[in-house]
Amino acid sequence: MDATKVLGKTLVVASPERRHEADADLVIVRRVQAGDVAAFDQLITQYRERVFGIVYNLTGNREDAADLTQDAFIKAFQSIHRFGGHSTFFTWLYRIAVNSSLSHLRRSRLRSFFSLERINTEDPVAREIVVALTDKTGVDRDAYVRELQEKLNDAMQKLSIKHRTVVTLFEVDGLSHQEIAEIMHCSVGTVRSRLHYAKQLLQAELQPYMRR
């Protein structure tokens, strides 16, 4: 069964990997809908880190991100019988997680406690960027990275919820404009304009840390 063509509609999937991923997800979903509830654990294992990453970058709080990620999976499990395949399971799950995060942010607008994860400097991409930013080593470099991380989080929190969501989905999670538009129920043009505006604001905030 081709997940990209469901009910006569052609779903836009960013890449072949995503297309293959969507097909596999649909098979698992059909099994869960048929009664094999244990199959849902495969979906949890597959998407928990990505969902957590999105929620964490939206909220800036590790504990809240864990709770919201768990709530998103529970809602998806309770509503799995209503998944009709109009979108990929990945998009459908992301939409639940983003909506839960947005609701949480609106409820706790007056209070915001940031609890940041440590940047894994062993990651090749992260290491390359840190090396390009500073020549410091050891403890000094860790302190510099910590300071940079807090500055990044502050700049992201200054964005509106919608702009922050677009930046997170595009820059952090690597989704396409079309996929972001499906998750956020808006047009591709809206996604592009929000992304451009958010980047302008972030550029002004993070200018001291950038080098051309």
Residues near other proteins (CB under 8 A) are 44, 48-49, 52-53, 56-57, 62, 66, 69-71, 73-74, 77-78, 82, 116-121, 123, 125-126, 128-135, 148-149, 152, 156, 167-168, 171-172, 199, 202-203, 206, 209-212
Residue among 1 and 138 whose Cβ is closer to other proteins = 138
Residue among 20 and 118 whose Cβ is closer to other proteins = 118
Residue among 38 and 139 whose Cβ is closer to other proteins = 38
Q: Give min distance, CB of 68 to other proteins, in A.
A: 12
Residues 6+ positions from 126 with CB-CB distance below 8 Å: 119, 120
Residue among 111 and 211 whose Cβ is closer to other proteins = 211
For 168-191, give one letter per residue: b (16+ CB within 10 A) or e.
bbbeeeebbbbbbbbbbeeeeebb
Give the DSSP H or E segment for 99.
Answer: helix 89-107
Q: Give min distance, CB of 9 to other proteins, in A.
A: 16
Give the DSSP H or E segment for 162.
Answer: helix 161-167
Q: Give min distance, CB of 45 to other proteins, in A.
A: 9
For 137-150, give one letter per residue: b (16+ CB within 10 A) or e.
eeeebeebbeebee
